[in-house]
């Protein structure tokens, strides 16, 4: 996880640890304790510019004004009736990404993007329609959380990597961001979830980091045939191989995997699908999270009725599977799962 020192010079300050910030202030000819102050003002107070750090000497502050902290610009903000807030953030190169803040009684969850766009092209997902533009840098991921935290004026409690992008295709930066969100922003690793559609070999590689964070795998189908219809990359990564890699993950980390399963009416929500799914995950330290499909305009899949969802849950429970249903949030702001796209309002 260490960054080469030549690389540090060109990277913004956001995303750096207290030790790295301390080294940086010392390079600027300042005493080491200014590193701790810098850390506090960046991560706890959430300053957007170094010139705002009033505990720093005036002269130095003036010099710091030109240093890039790495915060993005708020481009657009919309609030859903349920209080979910969608943000479009403009990055330093003009690219736009989406972030969602999801408040509940006790929590504030941030749904973060890991890439600008996504190359996976899952046919039920709006993000995939535009392809991949680029990976996000570590500071661009951390910035999303600080933006939501300061907008809500409340500490973020949970993070889900379920915004735009496929996190395991940008695993190095996602890993550094998880470190920073945990150690710098102060969010417990167990309150962080990384969601992946599955990239051959990457779940295994992720396991080797032994994180306490949760791994969620987007399964969405109970057999290879249906999965291939929904997820083009499934052709190169058979369900059997994906499940084997998940099993390895459980063995290496000792942590259970969450399987995400979008329910699409008639397509994958029949009792036989629930039984097929149960047969895959039985005896697996896992948990199934059902996601009733959120409509996007490009495809005409249907969200199942609440009764069909409940019937699916009942069969899974009868089959001994731990299951929950994800509550839909942010639907009117087009901020729900799978509805994020950068093309709107650019």
- Enumerate binding residues for ligand SAH (CB under 6 A): 124-125, 162, 166, 195-197, 218, 260, 262, 291, 293-294, 296, 337-338
Q: What is the smallest separation between the CB atom of 126 and ligand SAH, expressed in angstroms?
A: 7
Asked whether residue 165 is marked as a ligand-binding residue, the answer is: yes
For residue 239, the Cα-to-chain-centroid distance in whole angstroms is 23
Give whichever of 185 and 337 is closer to ligand SAH, judged by the CB atom.
Answer: 337
Whether 337 is catalytic? yes
Measured from the Cβ of residue 32, the count of other Cβ atoms closer than 10 Å reads 10
Q: How far apart are the first and last CA of the chain?
A: 34
Show contacts of 232-236: CB within 8 Å, 24+ apart.
232/120, 232/121, 232/122, 232/123, 233/120, 233/121, 233/197, 233/198, 233/199, 236/200
Q: What is the smallest separation between the CB atom of 175 and ligand SAH, expressed in angstroms?
A: 16
Give whichever of 125 and 234 is closer to ligand SAH, judged by the CB atom.
Answer: 125
98, 140, 245, 260: the catalytic one is 98
Q: What is the distance between the alpha carbons of residues 181 and 187, in angstroms, rounded to a whole number?
A: 6
Asked whether residue 122 is marked as a ligand-binding residue, the answer is: yes
In this structure, what token pair is assigned to residue 19? Answer: 């030790």
Q: What is the distance between the alpha carbons of residues 257 and 47, in angstroms, rounded to a whole number?
A: 36
Q: What is the smallest separation between the CB atom of 283 and ligand SAH, expressed in angstroms?
A: 23
Give whichever of 148 and 291 is closer to ligand SAH, judged by the CB atom.
Answer: 291
Give whichever of 149 and 196 is closer to ligand SAH, judged by the CB atom.
Answer: 196
Measured from the Cβ of residue 274, the count of other Cβ atoms closer than 10 Å reads 26
Q: Which of 274, 269, 199, 266 is nearest to 234 (CA)?
A: 199
Q: How many degrees, rounded to 5, is the angle at CA 108 between CA 103 and CA 111? A: 90
- Contacts of 6 by beta carbon, 8 Å cutoff, 6+ apart: none
Asked whether residue 246 is marked as a ligand-binding residue, the answer is: no
Q: What is the smallest separation between the CB atom of 197 and ligand SAH, expressed in angstroms?
A: 4
Asked whether residue 289 is marked as a ligand-binding residue, the answer is: no
Asked whether residue 294 is marked as a ligand-binding residue, the answer is: yes
In this structure, what token pair is assigned to residue 203? Answer: 């779940």
Asked whether residue 136 is marked as a ligand-binding residue, the answer is: no
- DSSP run (H or E) holding 196: strand 192-196
Q: What is the smallest separation between the CB atom of 201 and ligand SAH, expressed in angstroms?
A: 16
Give whichever of 8 and 322 is closer to ligand SAH, judged by the CB atom.
Answer: 322
- Contacts of 249 by beta carbon, 8 Å cutoff, 6+ apart: 203, 204, 206, 207, 215, 255, 257
Asked whether residue 286 is marked as a ligand-binding residue, the answer is: no
111, 245, 260, 337: the catalytic one is 337
Q: Which of 231, 162, 244, 238 is nearest to 203 (CA)?
A: 244
Active site residues: 98, 337
Output the known binding site for S-adenosyl-L-methionine: 165-166, 195, 218-220, 294
């Amino acid at each position: 996880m260490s960054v080469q020192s030549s690389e540090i010079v060109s990277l913004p300050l956001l995303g750096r640890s207290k030790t790295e910030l301390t080294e940086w202030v010392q390079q600027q000819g300042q005493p080491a304790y200014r590193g701790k102050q810098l850390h506090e003002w960046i991560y706890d107070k959430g300053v957007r510019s170094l010139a705002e750090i009033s505990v720093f000497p005036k002269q130095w502050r003036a010099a710091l004004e030109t240093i890039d902290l790495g915060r993005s610009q708020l481009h657009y903000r919309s609030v859903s009736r349920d209080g979910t807030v969608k943000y479009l953030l403009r990055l330093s190169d003009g690219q736009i990404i989406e972030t969602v803040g999801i408040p509940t009684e006790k929590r504030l969850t941030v749904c973060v993007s890991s890439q600008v766009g996504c190359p996976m092209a899952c046919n039920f997902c709006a993000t995939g329609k535009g392809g991949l533009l680029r990976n996000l840098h570590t500071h661009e991921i951390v910035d999303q959380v600080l933006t939501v935290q300061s907008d809500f004026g409340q500490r973020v409690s949970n993070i889900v990597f379920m915004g735009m992008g496929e996190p395991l295709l940008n695993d190095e930066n996602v890993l550094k961001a998880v470190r920073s969100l945990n150690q710098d922003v102060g969010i417990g690793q167990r309150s962080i979830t990384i969601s992946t559609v599955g990239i051959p070999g990457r779940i295994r590689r992720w396991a080797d980091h032994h994180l306490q964070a949760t791994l969620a795998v987007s399964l969405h189908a109970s057999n290879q045939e249906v999965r291939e219809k929904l997820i083009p990359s499934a052709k190169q990564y058979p369900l059997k191989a994906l499940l084997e890699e998940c099993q390895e993950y459980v063995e290496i980390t000792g942590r259970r995997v969450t399987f995400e399963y979008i329910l699409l009416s008639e397509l994958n929500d029949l009792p036989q699908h629930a039984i097929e799914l149960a047969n895959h995950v039985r005896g697996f330290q896992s948990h199934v999270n059902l996601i009733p499909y959120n409509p996007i305009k490009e495809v005409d899949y249907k969200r199942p009725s609440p009764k069909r969802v409940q019937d699916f849950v009942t069969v899974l429970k009868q089959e001994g599977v731990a299951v929950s249903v994800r509550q839909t949030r942010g639907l009117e702001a087009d901020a729900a799962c799978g509805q994020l796209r950068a093309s709107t309002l650019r």
